[in-house]
Structure 1
């Protein structure tokens, strides 16, 4: 059940890209469980958590997110 919720959350959390949902999920599954397991299944919390950990994400996952802006408090 958590894995299914993760898929849904990640598909909404990521910046729009040409990647398929399967590619997105594959790229970020480990990072999401490592950094954001507490946020699953809440898609908004997953998105916020992944953005908070942007600098720590694996390169394939990081490529799917917009980088933080100067206005972001964590950047």
Structure 2
């Protein structure tokens, strides 16, 4: 390996490592954002618009599984869950049947 190739490789490896760290921080950031959203839904003054604590507890996993692109729009999430009724967990489906 000549000196030019070695220098190029020395420059690329830190860049690749930085990309890996960035990808990890994006995942961590998204997870933190989702937890923040759930906390906001739980503590919001307009809790009725976001559903009862039981509804949120029953349907939160389904929202992340079936409707992640609708977060944080409560109306869009509700519409998505209604469209996905056949794919809902038993606990979440029961909330819609009440």
Distance 1:49 1:55 in 2: 11
Say which structure, 1 or 2, has more relative contact order (CA 8 Å, 6+ apart).
Answer: 1
Q: Which runs of 5+ in 1 are unaligned?
A: 15-19, 68-75
Q: Which runs of 5+ in 2 are unaligned?
A: 1-32, 42-47
Q: More helix by proportion, 1 or 2?
A: 2
The answer on 1:54 being equivalent to 2:85 is yes
RMSD of Structure 2 on Structure 1 (CA): 2.6
Rg larger for: 2
TM-score, normalised to structure 2, is 0.49
Runs of 4+ in 1 over 6 A off after TM superposition: none
